């Protein structure tokens, strides 16, 4: 263990922190988004699903360029940050998190969406007849049934 340089440990620590933060954010954001996409009858649902799937079809360099343009000092997010006295998100840990979340979002949302869609309406209808609130039915019926997809 003493043979590793401090840079390796620093890189390993950064990788673990980034993976942990990204995973938590993806579960917090991706699960409700997948639920909405699986249950919604709105035309907006497919438009949102298409936008979420864009990182799968865009080359990583194009996605990275768009993120730099968006998060950089001359981009909309950079200009908003400057108004509040903040720095740009480009080349920061927060920027890494944003890039990681956006690039991994379709890989998280699609399987969870399919798991929620596979449940069907019947278990939730039964929960509703037993006077379960939608939130209670989500956590006690939908999530356990979709757990293999999660």
pLDDT at residue number 4: 73
Give the other-Cβ count within 10 Å of 35's Cβ. 20
Mean pLDDT score of the chain? 89
1 pLDDT more than 60: no
Of 103, 141, 104, 106, give the one whose Cα is nearest residue 125: 141
pTM, whole model, 2 decimals?
0.82
pLDDT tier at 101, thresholds 50, 70, 90: very high
The domain covering 6-119 belongs, at the CATH homologous superfamily level, to MetI-like (1.10.3720.10)
Query: What pLDDT score was predicted for residue 2?
Result: 60
3-state SS class at 87? coil
Span 93-112, mean pLDDT?
92
Instruction: Kindly state the average pLDDT of the residues 40-54.
Output: 91
Highest mean pLDDT among 46-55, 68-77, 80-89: 46-55
Q: Is the pLDDT of residue 69 over 90?
A: no
Q: Map out the domains of the chain as residue ranges.
A: 6-119
CA torsion angle for 92, 97, 99, 105 (degrees, to 10)?
A: -170
**Span 130-143, average pLDDT:** 91
Q: What is the DSSP string of 31-60?
A: HHHHHHHHH--SHHHHHHHHHHHHHHHS-H
Residue ranges in the chain assigned as alpha helix (H): 6-39, 43-57, 60-71, 76-83, 93-119, 122-129, 134-137, 143-146
What is the reported pLDDT for 107? Answer: 95
Q: What is the pLDDT of residue 35?
A: 93
Tell me the pLDDT band of 3, cut-offs 50, 70 and 90. Answer: low
Average pLDDT over residues 99-111: 94
């Amino acid at each position: 263990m003493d043979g590793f340089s401090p840079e390796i440990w620093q890189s390993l620590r950064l990788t673990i922190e980034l993976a942990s933060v990204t995973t938590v954010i993806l579960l917090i954001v991706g699960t409700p988004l997948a639920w909405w996409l699986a249950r919604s009858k709105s035309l907006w649902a497919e438009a949102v699903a298409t936008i979420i799937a864009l990182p799968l079809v865009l080359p990583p360099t194009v996605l990275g360029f768009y993120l730099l343009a968006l998060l950089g000092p001359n981009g909309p997010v950079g200009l908003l940050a400057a108004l509040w006295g903040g720095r740009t998100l480009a080349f920061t840990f927060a920027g890494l998190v944003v890039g990681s979340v956006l690039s991994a979002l379709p890989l998280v949302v699609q399987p969870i969406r399919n798991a929620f869609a596979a449940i069907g309406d019947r278990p939730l209808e039964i929960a509703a007849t037993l006077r379960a609130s939608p939130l209670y039915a989500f956590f006690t019926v939908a999530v356990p049934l979709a757990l293999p997809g999660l």
